[in-house]
Amino acid sequence: MNSEKLIGVDRMNDKLKLEAAKELGLLEKVYKVGWSNLTAQETGKIGAIVKKRKKI
């Protein structure tokens, strides 16, 4: 796989994560404290939404 495809996948994943965070009301927290400061429960919910949307 070339790097251009990987960059495209990363951008898609980032977009999906941001959309999920917004849907859960966590987008402001992400911008204030960053992804690494979310709780395991919060990141799990985001991950579940992203996984569900990737399946479609």
pLDDT at 10: 82
pLDDT digits (tens, 9 = 90+) for 3-38: 555 566 788 899 999 999 999 999 999 999 999 999
pLDDT at 46: 98
pLDDT at 19: 96
pLDDT above 60 for 52: yes
- Kindly give, in sequence order, each residue whose CB lies less than 8 Å from that of residue 30, ignoring residues fewer than 6 positions away: 18, 21, 38
What ranges do the domains of the chain cover?
Answer: 3-55
pLDDT above 60 for 54: yes
pLDDT at 7: 63
